[in-house]
C-alpha cells in the first residue's frame, strides 16, 4: 500500500507538522518503497526519562499544537461522489494498515464506526444471558459499549502510532513525526487509545499521552476490554 507516502504528502500540504518530504513512492514486486527526507533529531524514547519536567513540558506543548493542526486537515472528497464523511478508511478511502490489530494486516474500509467496531470483535453481536461467568459479563459490556457508541464527530486524520519512538527532537524542539504507515481516517478516540497502549514495556508514555492528546476515558476502557478478548495476532 502507498498509504504512508500519501499521508505524508497530505500532512505536509495542510500543516506545519515536521514530516519527511517524500521524493517518490512506488510498488515493485509486491513491496512498497518510499524515498524520503531524513529528519534531524533523536527519538524521544532515547532520553525521555532523563529529561527535566521543563523540557518535557516544552515538547508536549509543541505536540499538542501539532495534533490540533492534524485534526483540522480536511478529508479529500470521494472519487465516486458518494458521501464519505462517516467512513473509517485509509488515506484515500481504501484499506488501512495497523499491525496492532488482530489476525490480519489490512482492514476496511468501513461505512460506519459501528461496522468497524463489529469487525474488531469478530462480528460478535450477542452473548447469551445464561453465560454468567465474569468473562461473559465483560464481553456483554464490550458489545453494549460498541453498539451504543455515538461518535462526537466524523472520523479524523489519525497517525495511529504516536509512540515515543516515532517523535524526534533536537534539544527541546520537536523536529519530526515519523512512521505514518498506520495513518487513516479513524474514530476521534483512536489516536489516544492507541498511543496509550503503544509502549507496553515503557509505561511512562501512558502518563504523557493525555498531555498532548484529548483524553477519552470511556473509550480507553472500551479498548482495554476489546484488547483483552480480541487481540490475538
Domains and CATH numbers, the chain: 41-230 (3.90.1200)
For the chain, percent of residues with pLDDT exceeding 70: 98
State the pairing for strand pair 184-186/156-158: antiparallel
> pLDDT band at 1, cuts 50/70/90?
low
* Res 232: pLDDT: 56
Question: In this model, does residue 133 exceed pLDDT 50?
Answer: yes
Among residues 115, 107, 71, which one has the least CA distance to residue 89? 107
C-alpha cell at 13: 500540504
- Residue 24: strand pairing partners: 35
> pLDDT band at 233, cuts 50/70/90?
very low
Q: Average pLDDT in the 82-111 region?
A: 91
* Res 199: pLDDT: 77
Q: How far is CA 33 from CA 13, 112, 165, in A?
A: 21, 31, 21
> What is the rounded CA–CA span in Å between residue 94 and residue 87?
10
Question: In this model, does residue 33 exceed pLDDT 80?
Answer: yes
Q: DSSP 3-state assignment of 93? A: coil
Q: Average pLDDT in the 59-67 region?
A: 99
Mean pLDDT of the chain: 93
* Res 2: pLDDT: 80
Amino acid at each position: 500500500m502507498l498509504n504512508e507516502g500519501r499521508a505524508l504528502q497530505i500532512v505536509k500540504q495542510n500543516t506545519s507538522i515536521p514530516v519527511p518530504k517524500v521524493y517518490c513512492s512506488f510498488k515493485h514486486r509486491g513491496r512498497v518503497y518510499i524515498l524520503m527526507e531524513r529528519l534531524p533529531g533523536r527519538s524521544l524514547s532515547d532520553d525521555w526519562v532523563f529529561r527535566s519536567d521543563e523540557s518535557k513540558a516544552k515538547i508536549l506543548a509543541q505536540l499538542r499544537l501539532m495534533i490540533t493542526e492534524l485534526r483540522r486537515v480536511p478529508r479529500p472528497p470521494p472519487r465516486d461522489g458518494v458521501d464519505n464523511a462517516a467512513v473509517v478508511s485509509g488515506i484515500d478511502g481504501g484499506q488501512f494498515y495497523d499491525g496492532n490489530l488482530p489476525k490480519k494486516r489490512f482492514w476496511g474500509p468501513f461505512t460506519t464506526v459501528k461496522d468497524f467496531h463489529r469487525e474488531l470483535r469478530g462480528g460478535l453481536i450477542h452473548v447469551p444471558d445464561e453465560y454468567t461467568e465474569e468473562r461473559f459479563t465483560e464481553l456483554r459490556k464490550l458489545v453494549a459499549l460498541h453498539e451504543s457508541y455515538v461518535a462526537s464527530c466524523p472520523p479524523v486524520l489519525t497517525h495511529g502510532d504516536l509512540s515515543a519512538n516515532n517523535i524526534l527532537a533536537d534539544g527541546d524542539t520537536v523536529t519530526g513525526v515519523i512512521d505514518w504507515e498506520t495513518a487513516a481516517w479513524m474514530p476521534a478516540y483512536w489516536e489516544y487509545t492507541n498511543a496509550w497502549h503503544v509502549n507496553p514495556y515503557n509505561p511512562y508514555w501512558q502518563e504523557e499521552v493525555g498531555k498532548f492528546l484529548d483524553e477519552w476515558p470511556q473509550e480507553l476502557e472500551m479498548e482495554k476490554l476489546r484488547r483483552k478478548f480480541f487481540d490475538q495476532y
